[in-house]
Structure 1
């Protein structure tokens, strides 16, 4: 072929490839939302899918109560020890199951035997020598396991450690719960939680968050925490930091318990478990606890954990268990099925994050103002993973089936790229351009953020991976996502 003809040939092949059906671009703005954008009823920055929570600050009454509590302790010591506790909580893993422990011991034992080239079970070894070799092998296995395996221990919160938890976790936990509850309020404006159960209540972050999102609504809150010192501290915050003062902050009744009531007679409109699943020693107990919490739920069940791979795994464990309960209820023909996933997933299928190969958990972020400890008073970011279950059956016609943004959109020249979790239970990368889409559709993507619902209608595709050659000016960059969002 003539060399001069090569550029023309490449241009022709490029034009032909660009005309292929490309699901990355095949979507359009929700007609109702687009209509409101055109007539000015909606602003692109505040479209119906936004979370409306950007930076969360603690209520003034709560900050004043915290200041009264912390004045009894040296500020530098509290700040330093709180950072140590926070790092430990972020590195926390669930306890190994007995089967995992046995398997780990067997693997380590075989590796050591192969490395030392000695088999204590060999019939050629005398009995006395065999016993010495077995003792030596057992000692080596124990030392190796101690270094490699995670040594889970239940956390015991005394008075000082409860104060450290207050300093380290009150503001970020409160912010994450405010964002989750605000999403519930926006999408279900008729919902008013009159009663609430908080399992693993700690210093009462969930109670304060509920009162912040639904002011003067919740009439009864039951806080369950195994630490009596933690319950005393949460009660002290309700009294403005002074244990001798009456409770003047909340209008409703507040009750503190150390054990979760097993009776299912009492139901609560809102049940919350925030960063408590790691403190349960095994999977069977976790699932039994989830079952009890779900049986006590008449409205919404909210489960929140750290946005690490381990936190994501525990939340998905609970999610899959509750979905299995719902599937069994439907198979048995119950008139009122158990429930469905309200958030963040727009579907009840398996989480596609397990299969995308990125090793990145499905997590979200919220910005918050920290407690004024030390010199660092700038806005900080909390990463969390969660799931919200709602009682009843998902009504497709009554609820907008929009996709959820699981990454911040990438803004590139002439195009925007974003990754969404779709109502069909798949991850998709969609690209918005001014040339291929309407101005309203482009603005919706432009002003959406990580965690928002994207009010667009996606086409159905047979290949969820969306791996198709694109034009050079509209090339997506999936590798940059992986570089920007390393697993925590």
Structure 2
């Protein structure tokens, strides 16, 4: 079960402790209403300190869990990738830079591009409590995302939960600009049919830009999942703190964050043979998995006790994992 790293959790608790939980809950409900009704991307939605704090308390744990999972799967497929520079576009309060430095300690210089001044201010405040020097010394730049993104060259470029806020006719240009002068691009969107559609379109753009898909797909071919019947997404379970439950008006001590993502690299890496597309069905002596394969599209595979070591590995496999698990030696294709 995923959770925030202690330094980020402590920093967030310190910030949230300045406001009454009931006030943050009201702020969150107002923000949700604004997102449902739609808004101009140039508008500053997070315009007050309590709005930013409430949104951070509401979304940072789930966003961190999703981004960390996507980046971990990326790192597993590209074990020789050791980025030194990272740019996060539309980074809000900086969730992605915390996640990335947890996956790649090699990061030395990180930058966050964000349009809301109050979000930048809170992100800086949280970053001061980070154990990672790269997060503590992060550069924060105010920027509005339009048809393109002006950013410095970077080994790693990320953008999470932002495409859904952009007009459809601008998304392709934004993705193309993200890929420019980047060694690795990772995009994350909500795990909904619409979120997957945006990721699928972005995947096509990245491939057209000459990048090679690293994860989750085991190929660069057209996605074999029929759009009208299913969509590619993954799930991560995360802990909810007492305050997190109160802000969300929830009773469960956990939640499941569903997300879609794509990671693409300027250099090819050895691919996963298959990717697990759903929670494997595990029964006594048998594991059934739905897989996206490198050459046969979507298939179902059953592993039983008679398969020996394969069965023992299958008992530990989870939704989103590669199958079979690889050791990864850092080599390229």
Q: TM-score range by the shorter chain?
A: 0.7 to 0.9
1:153 aligned residue (39, 61, 69): 39
In structure 2, relative to structure 1, the CA distance for the partners of 1:73 and 1:321 (3 Å cut) is: same
In 2, the alpha carbon distance for the partners of 1:65 and 1:445 equals: 38
- In structure 2, the partner of 1:40 is none
Q: Classify 1:60/1:432 alpha carbon distance in 2 versus 1 (closer, same or farther; 3 Å).
A: closer
1:81 offset after TM fit, Å?
3.9
Distance 1:83 1:273, change over 3 A: same
1:382 and 2:252 equivalent? no
Q: What is the distance in 1 between the residues matched to 2:171 and 2:296? A: 26
Structure 1 pair 456–162 and aligned structure 2 pair: CA distance change class (3 A): closer
**Where do 5+ consecutive residues of structure 2 fail to align?**
327-333
| Deviation (angstroms), 1:76 | 2.1
- Partners of 2:34 and 2:100 in 1: how far apart? 27
Selected match of 1:365 from 235, 260, 265: 235
Following TM superposition, by how much is the alpha carbon of 1:226 offset from its aligned partner in structure 2, in angstroms?
1.2
TM-superposed CA distance for 1:88, in Å, is 7.1
SS in 2 for 1:69: helix
Q: Is residue 446 from structure 1 mapped to residue 332 from structure 2 by the alignment?
A: no
* Displacement after TM superposition at 1:424 (Å): 1.4
- Separation in 1 of the partners of 2:294 and 2:216? 11
**Against the structure 1 CA distance between its residues 411 and 71, is the aligned structure 2 distance closer, same or farther, given a 3 Å change threshold?**
closer
Aligned to 1:354, what secondary structure does the other structure show? coil
Partner of 1:474: none
Higher relative contact order (CA 8 A, sep 6+): 1
TM norm structure 2: 0.85
Q: Is the 8 A contact 2:73 2:321 kept in 1?
A: no
Cα 1:263–1:75, aligned 2, differ >3 Å: closer, same or farther? closer
Number of residue pairs matched by the alignment: 312
* Shift, 1:415, TM fit: 3.5
Indicate how the Cα distance of structure 1 residues 256 and 386 shifts in structure 2: closer, same or farther if over 3 A, else same.
same
Q: CA RMSD, aligned part only?
A: 2.5
Question: Which has the larger strand fraction?
Answer: 2
Structure 1: unaligned runs, 5 residues or longer: 1-54, 93-150, 241-247, 326-337, 458-488
Partner of 1:431: 302
Q: SS of the counterpart of 1:236?
A: helix
Pick from 69, 85, 92 the counterpart of residue 179 of structure 1. Answer: 69
1:305–1:385 Cα contact (<8 Å) kept:
yes
Match of 1:251?
Answer: 133
Q: Distance in 1 between matches of 2:114 and 2:284?
A: 52
For the residues of structure 1 that align with 2:262 and 2:101, how far apart are their CA atoms?
A: 20
Q: Distance in 1 between matches of 2:76 and 2:34?
A: 35
> Could you say which residue in structure 1 is the equivalent of 2:218?
346
What do residues 67-114 of structure 1 show as CA deviations (whole Å, max 9, x unaligned)?
Answer: 22112211123135436645876xx5xxxxxxxxxxxxxxxxxxxxxx
Aligned to 1:3: none
Q: 1:464 maps to what in 2? A: none
**Correspondence list, 1:234-383, <5 A:** 234-240=123-129, 249-252=131-134, 253-259=137-143, 266-283=152-169, 285-297=170-182, 299-325=183-209, 338-354=210-226, 357-358=228-229, 360-373=230-243, 374=246, 376=251, 378-383=253-258
> Is 1:204 aligned to 2:74, yes or no?
no
Larger radius of gyration: 1
Q: Contact conserved, 1:276 with 1:305, CA < 8 A, in 2?
A: yes
- Post-superposition offset of 1:250: 4.0
